[in-house]
Amino acid sequence: MANNDPLFGLSGDALRLRSQRMALLASNIANAATPNYKARDFDFQKALESAQAGASVDQAAGQSAGYRVPLEASLDGNTVELSTEQTLFAENAVQYKTTLSFLQGRISTVMTALRGE
Amino acid sequence: MSNMSIFDISGRAMAAQLVRLNTTASNLANANSVSTTKEGAFRALKPVFKTVSGGEGIATVQVSQVVSSQTDPTKRHDPGNPLADQNGDVWDAGVDQAGELVEMMETARQYQNNVQVLQTAKSLTLDTLRLEK
């Protein structure tokens, strides 16, 4: 596993991917009333693995992206289900915040080492 | 990185929903208007939503056009109305009032969803800015 970021490691890529996924889920929510819009998402685990293998964030998200399979088909061809998207958006926001606190811990560790106290 | 931020996505979606809310308001305002001819009667206005792609699977929405609905105006016998034709008929506006109210609630709900997305994105962005503290 090639780690391309010696300072932030996994968390740096994870934060970028979380932000990307947040934009994707926001797009789905924005298009909740657009006929024929197909909701999209990506597999976070897979995307993180390819980002760790050296792919850029855009590439990693693109490779593991797919269309959401709706629980109940709607007549206008739109596959956005607000309950699903809202749940995933909230989950993603919490995970973004979690990643942020991992980064915070990392930064304070490095700062302690730098100060030499 | 894409040139469309989460603020663009939700902001433009809110603008589109606001256009939808405006059309609903004008439809309801004109629901009880009458006309002498069928052609002159008011028909409900409907916005047409269209996806605007920002690349990499992200997309926002815009109103591409506002069209008149297919709901036909209805004829009503009302000889006392100054707008009535020689048969004593007037044409009521082609507005489905119950449908418009349902649409209004759906619009409000989806507008709120976008506001919530924006709020979450804003607070996470601010948290990220304060990272080094």
Q: Which residues of B touch A (CB under 8 A)?
A: 1-2, 4-6, 9-10, 12-13, 17, 20, 49-51, 54, 56-61, 106-107, 110, 113-114, 117, 120-121, 124, 127-128, 131-132
Distance of CA B95 to the CA centre of its chain: 14
Q: CA distances (Å), A70 to each of A88, B7, B49, B82, in order?
A: 14, 26, 20, 53
pLDDT at A30 over 80: yes
- CA distance to partner chain A, nearest, from residue B43 (Å): 22
Q: Do A107 and B50 touch (CB under 8 A)?
A: no
Question: What does the pLDDT read at residue B111?
Answer: 95
Q: Where are the alpha helices (DSSP H) in chain B?
A: 6-29, 97-129
Pairing of strands B59-68, B45-53: antiparallel
Q: What angle do CA B41, B42, B48 make, to 5 degrees?
A: 140
The pLDDT averaged over each successive group of 10 residues in chain B (133 residues) is 82 95 95 89 93 87 92 89 89 92 95 95 93 74
